[in-house]
Amino acid sequence: MARSSPASRRQVLADLGLLAFVWVAMIVVVRPVGDFPINDDWVYAAAVRSLLTTGRFEVASWSSANVGPLAYWGAAFTWLFGFSFTVLRASTLIVGLAGGMLVYALFRVVWSHRALALVAAAMLLVDPIYFALSCTFMTDVPFFALSAGALLALVVGLRDDDVRLIAVGLAIALATVLMRQFAVVILAGFALAYVAKRGLSVRAVVVGVAPLVAGLLINFAFSRWLVESGRKPYPAGIASLVPSSTTDLVANLKWAALLIVSYLGLLALPLVVAASAWATARSRRRVVLVGFALATAAIAAIFVPRRLLMPIGTNILAWSGIGPLANGDTMALKLNLPEPSALATATWAVVTVAAIVAAAWILVALIDGSLQLLVRVVPRLRRPQDADDVTASLFIGTGASYLAVLLLLSTTTTLFDRYLLPLVLLVGLLLPLRSRVPTPPALGFTRSALVIALLVASATFSVVATHDFLAWSRVRWGALQDLLAQGVAPTRIDGGYEFNGWYLYDAQYVGDRTRNWWWVVGDEYAIASGPLPGYRVVETRPVARWWPDAGRDVFILRR
């Protein structure tokens, strides 16, 4: 890896200003306002509400995340500006911009390459999953930003042997564990990096592993404290599901591997184009090209016979835009779903080809770089490694640990696309690992033009898709609020996952097969995206979308 050179303050401020301008412009265009929950953020908003009303932190057992710091962050904003989901959304949008700036700083420190840092940060900010999640009060974006901050402090601290910065990085990681347990992977990465820095010895292993042990103990103690103090009825959530058979386990792992590889290609595409400027040494170029061809063919051999098109995951990104469409007909029954147009199908076919090629390049680049790292490190395992290899060890340890967590998670429950954002960052930081050139390469006109085109396309999709999802959500929640204003109790409405969660969540709820699983008490009324058997249409409310083929109108139904 290239060692960072001092950057002029004016240059850095100009770059950060550009990133802030793009972010604010996207927010202004989308206008993410509306006092309604999205996806799982009703769970975390309820924790904020408990702090405001009782001064006591409580979290629903439905939450698999620890939540902690996020609830206090949201409470600070709502204490200043009043409780609403718009205010909570604004708190995440601020963190979202901070996450992009931290990514910029990480790439500047690690690779000393202004263009690559700008591409990485811009790629994150215009990413449809990241941008859409920033318009919610979910844990994903704060987790990402805190993780990036912890990695930045650890990279600089390890490089400069600065104990204070190392302590800051570890403290951020440990605090992040209290919000989302996945943060322990940063501590695992630190353990590997610390051993690489000091050389393999009993003392180095003990000191390096100590923060990881502390993180695991903190997570366990915090989880038990929540239950024992009555702040969380029981320590289980949707992640407590288990596979029903070994066949399910193997199938889940295969699908998770395909999902992870293909989404890395899709989400990191602009960075792949930029990082391809790092040329492979001539002595290995033929081997790398053969590996790239084989990897491309192998991934294509899975997609083509099954006629798979990206996106193949669930939760945020869909061919029709942004989700989830959490009504009973669309989410539970798979009815009244948007139908893909010929143009949408053709567009996603092109995107799928690009994702496959990028995924193959990532696999080859990581394997090639890792082999080079092993050749350098293994012969002098007991001696301290150089700063570049220590940094690489931090990212490899963190990335491998997080990958293991994702694969383990896939055996028990759905692996959502939003979980992959941190892995994209870690892979991006490692992409140029295969070339230790003293002078960072220039991207060139053609490569730069292609990167800019990809970023503009991603930003356009993010803005249009997020706008349309929020427009649909506003109409949907407007219909629900009108029913409530007419005196219809929430117990008579199946308003979808978020509505029932916000109004009717019950930790002891026992459902039945005649109703949807999300705490439905009565379903005399239902909100849907079309007619349903057993219901008559009371009213149809149109949704003003920018992409007309991306969804349906909102239907108020009654038995």
- Rounded to an integer, what distance in angstroms lies between the CA atom of residue 171 and that of residue 186? 11
Find out whether 394 and 151 touch, Cβ atoms under 8 Å.
yes
- Rounded to an integer, what distance in angstroms lies between the CA atom of residue 520 and that of residue 500? 7
Q: Residue 541, SS3?
A: strand
Which H or E run contains 537? strand 536-541
CB atoms closer than 10 angstroms to residue 256:
20
- The residue ranges of DSSP E strands in 187-322, in sequence order, are 317-318, 321-322
Q: What pTM, to 2 d.p., does this model score?
A: 0.94
525-551 burial, b at 16+ Cβ within 10 Å, e below that, comes to bbbbbbebeebeeeeeeebebebeebb
Q: What is the DSSP string of 325-352?
A: --SIIIIIS--SPPPPPHHHHHHHHHHH
**Closest alpha carbon to 284 in 354, 372, 171:** 372
Question: Tokens 């193997």 label which residue?
Answer: 250
- Per the rule left: phi > 0, alpha: psi between -120 and 50, beta: everything else, 295 is alpha
**Closest alpha carbon to 503 in 46, 33, 58:** 46
**Closest alpha carbon to 88 in 142, 126, 128, 125:** 142
Res 232: pLDDT? 86
Q: Residue 554, SS3?
A: strand
Find out whether 476 and 37 touch, Cβ atoms under 8 Å.
no
Interior angle at CA 95, CA 405 and CA 150, nearest 5: 50
Mean pLDDT in consecutive groups of 10 residues from the start of the chain, 559 residues: 59 95 98 95 96 93 91 96 96 98 95 90 97 97 97 96 96 96 96 94 96 95 91 61 59 92 96 81 72 94 95 92 91 89 92 96 89 83 86 94 92 88 93 62 87 97 96 97 97 95 91 87 94 95 88 93
Which H or E run contains 356? helix 342-377
Res 416: pLDDT? 93
Contacts from 296-302 at CB under 8 Å and sequence distance 24+?
A: 296/356, 296/357, 296/360, 298/360, 299/261, 299/262, 299/356, 299/359, 299/360, 300/356, 302/258
Sequence-distant (≥ 6) Cβ neighbours of residue 207 within 8 angstroms: 194, 198
Q: Give the pair of three-digit tokens for residue 145.
A: 């930003």
Which residues, in sequence order, are bridge partners of residue 322? Answer: 317
Which residues, in sequence order, are bridge partners of residue 528? Answer: 555
- Rounded to an integer, what distance in angstroms lies between the CA atom of residue 527 and that of residue 541? 11
Res 242: pLDDT? 44
Sequence-distant (≥ 6) Cβ neighbours of residue 457 within 8 angstroms: none
Chain centre to alpha carbon of residue 192: 24
**Which phi and psi (to 5°) does residue 228 adopt?**
-65, -30
Question: Tokens 């139908």 label which residue?
Answer: 339
- Rounded to an integer, what distance in angstroms lies between the CA atom of residue 52 and that of residue 72? 10
- Rounded to an integer, what distance in angstroms lies between the CA atom of residue 42 and that of residue 50? 12
Find out whether 429 and 395 touch, Cβ atoms under 8 Å.
yes
